[in-house]
Amino acid sequence: MLLLVLNLVVSAVLTGLIWFVQIVHYPLFLKIPATAFKDFQMQHMHTTTQVVSVPMLVELLLSIGLLTATYPGKSTFTHYCVFVCIVIIWLVTFFISVPIHNQLVLLGYNESLIKQLVTTNWLRTFAWTLRTLLLLYILTRYLEFYK
């Protein structure tokens, strides 16, 4: 049960963070003056990495633990769906989001790239939200099973 609760807590925190990034932070990139954008982007990448790298790694490890854990009433399909969400998040992060951020460092302010960043980030926002909802569902079923 502890593994399940830890998964839910970390996922919920990262879900809240990604919604902030999606609705507030990334759209504000369009308001940064072009002359300051490269410095802003480098600082953004550095500080964001410091904030999210450890929680994302912890989330990945917890997700693997949950996938491999055995307990009565476990829905293997739902657990696989939770893990697929992590895979989607990591693939989008490292094969879409990070390359766009790297291009923004090289090119500076680029409205098209910023809009692409906002649009493609919906994939991560959806995956994290779905993961949190699925974990909440799993926890609810677990608690019902042990009534």
Backbone angles phi, psi at 110, to 5 degrees: -150, 105
Cβ-contact 28, 144 below 8 angstroms? no
Looking at per-residue confidence, does 141 or 55 come out higher? 55
| pLDDT over 90 at 75, yes or no | no
**Count of domains for the chain:** 1
pLDDT in tens, 40-63: 999 999 999 999 999 999 999 999
Domain range holding 7? Answer: 2-145
> Which of 125, 136, 132 is closest to 19 using CA atoms?
125
| pLDDT over 90 at 112, yes or no | yes
126 pLDDT band, cuts 50/70/90, is: very high
Cβ burial, residue 93 (10 Å; 0-12/13-18/19+): middle
